[in-house]
Every structure is written in C-alpha cells, then in structure tokens.
Structure 1
Amino acid sequence: MLKAITFGTFYFFLVFCISLFVWVYFCVPETKGLPIEEIDKILSGYQGAEDIACIADVR
C-alpha cells in the first residue's frame, strides 16, 4: 500500500489543509474573550432569523 502512494497524495492533503484553514478563518465565529454563556448563545441550535438575532444580541 505504501508503494502506491505518490507525491500527488501530499498535494491533495496540502490543498485539503489549506481549504480547512480558510474555512475556519472565515466561517467559525470568534470566541476569544467571551464568557461561556455567550459562547453557548452563539453556538446553540437556533436557525435562520433567530440565529441572526441571537448573534446580534451577543455582539
């Protein structure tokens, strides 16, 4: 199995890791310096308009 792995595999994982970094940077909400209660409000299971209102309240 190890002989079948080519250098292209490493490029695949490089692109995958860079893509995940970009997604985390732009899509995961910042929680630094927030109390646990506010983090719970941001990450709770609200949907749609409730989600936007909840995040606006926290900010």
Structure 2
Amino acid sequence: MSFTDKAKNKAQDAVGKAKEKVGDVANNDDLKRDGQADQAEAAAKQAGEKAKDTAKNVKDTFTKD
C-alpha cells in the first residue's frame, strides 16, 4: 500500500468521524449516516490494500533466491 493511498484512506476516515460527530451533536441523522458510510468505505479500501500487500509479501517470500 503506497503512502499516498494510506494518507487518503486515513483522511477519508477522519472526515467520516468528523461528519458523524457533527451529525450527532446537530441531531442530523443524514450527516451522521454519511460519516459512517465514509468510515466504512475507508475501512474497506484499507482492507483491500492490506490484502494486496500481504499477497505481494507472500509472492516475494517464495521468489527470493
């Protein structure tokens, strides 16, 4: 996972958390759900990137001389 992808995912997660908090404080369920959706999307992206990293590490382990 590249540094840029990690940073984008962390930023999306942070924005989602902020939206959820503001929605909670403002009693705005739509904003709260939007924040939760942003967090879920960021988590899914992170999981996909980690899976790619793991596959690459396994491949590298078996192809080393």
Q: TM-score, normalised to structure 2's length? A: 0.38
| Larger Rg, first or second structure (1 or 2) | 1
Q: TM-score, normalised to structure 1's length? A: 0.41
Q: Which structure has the highest helix share of the two?
A: 2
